[in-house]
Amino acid sequence: MRESLNIPENLTVNTLLTELKKYIPKKDLLLITLTYEFADEAHAGQKRRSGEPYIQHPLTAAYILATMRIDLPIIVATILHDVPEDTEVTLEEIEKNFGKDIASMLKGITKLGKIKYRGVERYIENLRKMFVAMAEDIRVMIIKFSDRTHNLMTLDAQPKNKQHRIALESLEIYAPIANRLGMGEFKGLLEDLSFPYIYPKEYKKVIDIRDKILTDEKKYLEEIIKLGKKELEKSNIDFIDIHGRRKRLYRLYQKLLQKGWESNKIFDIVAIRIIVKDIGDCYATLGILHKLWRPLKGRIKDYIAQPKPNGYESLHTTVFCENGKSVEFQIRTQQMHDEAEYGVAAHWHYDEKGKRLPKKDVGWAKELASIQKDVLKNIKDLEDIKVDFFKSHIFVFTPQGDVIDLPEDATPIDFAYQIHTDVGNHCNGAKVNDQLVSLDTPLKSGDVVDILSEKHRKGPSPDWLKTVKTHSAKTRIKQALSKSEGNVWWKTIFQKEDEKKKKEKKK
């Protein structure tokens, strides 16, 4: 995995400086040298469990961000990120030497450093703190992701039980947060680095499947890329890059599970990515590909017209290429590509010309503060948090075209309560894509959902609690049932449920 990140074996501050020279002005690099010397002195004599000098950890974390062209203040804070917690140097000293901005980031990192699994109730409280830190300064999570990535790369040095805990937390909490923030690069790294510690047998099986496909398809894809380039040049499309992209291991594992381990049913194990100059060229390229090769029905996805909730934009299409083989193409601009890789971090990312990308609002990041205040305070079950915030999300539409963000397998009832409590309480049916469906139907990304209301309906059905997925829908259904006349017995059931959970937690 170190190789996939292009991290040299004997990393030094000079290696970091060489990487930074690619996008940081030479005059600013002295700060990195001074920062490294300060951190090296603070960590003097400290060693990691692997036996290497402790300074190698913050240095590698900083290098990971440098390969992503992240800006100087974040790199400085990353080199210093463990100094306040693991040495005698205080935040006040950091502020005096490096300024308020760096000290502020380190304060946030220090808060996150205390988040460890110590029982469900304390863990949920710590997750609240994480949401607060993220809402105050999202850069804190960028540093935390690079920190966690290097910790996973060196996880072999830890005891078995700690390996499993750290990997599971990374897979179930950190990777989904990276996904919600649109940071595809970190999501993929965190998942693939955690995968072998959680599912070692499956990991080996997936590697064998992918490597066999890559060996068989390499020459074929090179030929397809060559044909694609020729056709685009003929049509005067000035493309920036065309390259093959292989599917991440953990994502491939999830797809294989869905398809009963039949790899021939997965069309995007290897995809071809085309990066062009502007949106017009994206659509023109799509047309050229469809003229050259026949598209598969239902496999054209326009995430430019309708971006994913985390801001992801791209055109996807799967076509029958030479000899009838199906190949997926992803078409996007350079800015779309950078934002797909780095998400909210794209604002602190420099392009090939040394320019920072314009700031792009990411709705979920902005909602973090209100989420922790209004929702997390009512959640007592870690599984509810995983479903509501950390599970893979889909986006569905109201008939007016508004996007509603829901966890995978959410139902029309979840959708109704997401719009408004009254819509949920008076829900009497649902149409999905103009077809009447049952209220327990799992929704899919892109569905258009129309809720049918009954004005005189007394309230929700108790059976809805068996099928809804979101914590907010469950809470509102329970509240409505508790208030309804003749439903006093529901209060007793809810009380018994709460008592049962408390007993389980004590155990």
Q: Find the CATH number of the domain harbouring 471.
A: 3.10.20.30
Q: Rounded to two decimals, what is the model's pTM?
A: 0.76
How far the first Cα of the chain sits from its last, in Å, is 39
Check whether residue 167 and residue 209 sit in a common domain: no
Nearest one of 314, 368, 366 to 339, comparing CA atoms: 314
Check whether residue 215 and residue 153 sit in a common domain: no
What is the tens place of the pLDDT at every residue in 154-169? 999 999 988 998 998 8
In a domain, 50, yes or no: yes
Residue 243's DSSP bridge partners are 273
Nearest one of 85, 77, 82 to 104, comparing CA atoms: 77
Q: Active site residue: 3, 37, 40, 85, which one? A: 85
Check whether residue 189 and residue 321 sit in a common domain: no
Domain boundary among 293, 315, 348: 348
In a domain, 377, yes or no: no
In a domain, 180, yes or no: yes
**Cβ proximity of 219 and 270 under 8 Å:** no
Check whether residue 91 and residue 178 sit in a common domain: yes
What is the tens place of the pLDDT at every residue in 399-440? 887 778 788 889 999 999 988 899 999 999 999 988 999 999
Check whether residue 422 and residue 326 sit in a common domain: no
What's the maximum distance between 2 C-alpha atoms anywhere in the chain? 75
In a domain, 374, yes or no: no
The residue that leads in pLDDT, 380 or 396, is 396
pLDDT of residue 245: 86
What is the tens place of the pLDDT at every residue in 194-226? 999 999 999 999 999 988 888 878 888 899 999
Check whether residue 187 and residue 215 sit in a common domain: no
How confident is the model over 125-152, as a mean pLDDT? Answer: 82
Nearest one of 51, 70, 164, 173 to 123, comparing CA atoms: 173
Nearest one of 380, 371, 407 to 391, comparing CA atoms: 407
Return d(Cα 63, Cα 74) in angstroms, integer: 11
The residue that leads in pLDDT, 399 or 491, is 399
How confident is the model over 9-31, as a mean pLDDT? Answer: 92
Displacement of CA 43 from its chain's centroid (Å): 32
Confidence band (pLDDT; 50, 70, 90) for 3? very low
For the chain, give the number of residues: 507
Domain boundary among 152, 175, 197: 197
pLDDT of residue 181: 79
In a domain, 373, yes or no: no
Highest average pLDDT, of 8-22, 208-222, 277-291, 452-466, comes from 277-291
Q: Is 367 a catalytic residue?
A: no
Look at 1-10, 141-150, 182-191 and tell me which has the smallest mean pLDDT.
1-10
Is 315 exposed, middle or buried, given 0-12, 13-18 or 19+ CB atoms closer than 10 A?
A: buried
Check whether residue 176 and residue 207 sit in a common domain: no
Q: Find the CATH number of the domain harbouring 256.
A: 3.30.460.10
pLDDT of residue 189: 94
Domain boundary among 288, 314, 348: 348
Check whether residue 43 and residue 145 sit in a common domain: yes
Check whether residue 227 and residue 242 sit in a common domain: yes
Q: What is the DSSP string of 38-86?
A: HHHHHTTT-B-TTSSBTTHHHHHHHHHHHHTTB-HHHHHHHHTTTHHHH
Give the CA distances from residue 66 to residues 15, 32, 73, 338, 456, in Å, rounded to whole numbers and listed in that order.
Answer: 10, 12, 11, 14, 60
Q: Is 85 a catalytic residue?
A: yes
The pLDDT > 90 percentage for the chain reads 47
Check whether residue 306 and residue 404 sit in a common domain: no
Average pLDDT, the chain: 84
**Cβ proximity of 335 and 357 under 8 Å:** yes
Give the helix ranges, DSSP H, for 137-248: 139-153, 160-169, 175-180, 184-198, 200-234
In a domain, 420, yes or no: yes
SS (H, E, C) 394-437: EEEECCCCCEEEEECCCCHHHHHHHHCHHHHHCEEEEEECCEEE
In a domain, 436, yes or no: yes
Look at 325-329, 371-375, 464-468 and tell me which has the smallest mean pLDDT.
371-375
Give the CA distances from residue 12 to residues 33, 43, 459, in Å, rounded to whole numbers and listed in that order.
Answer: 11, 15, 65
Q: Find the CATH number of the domain harbouring 76.
A: 1.10.3210.10
Nearest one of 147, 149, 30 to 80, comparing CA atoms: 147
What is the tens place of the pLDDT at every residue in 174-192? 888 888 777 888 999 999 9
Q: Active site residue: 86, 231, 405, 409, which one? A: 86
Instruction: Answer whether residue 286 shows pLDDT above 70.
Output: yes
Instruction: Answer whether residue 356 shows pLDDT above 50.
Output: yes
Domain count along the chain: 3
In a domain, 64, yes or no: yes
Check whether residue 206 and residue 266 sit in a common domain: yes
The residue that leads in pLDDT, 268 or 357, is 268
Check whether residue 71 and residue 132 sit in a common domain: yes
Domain of 261 in residue numbering reads as: 201-348
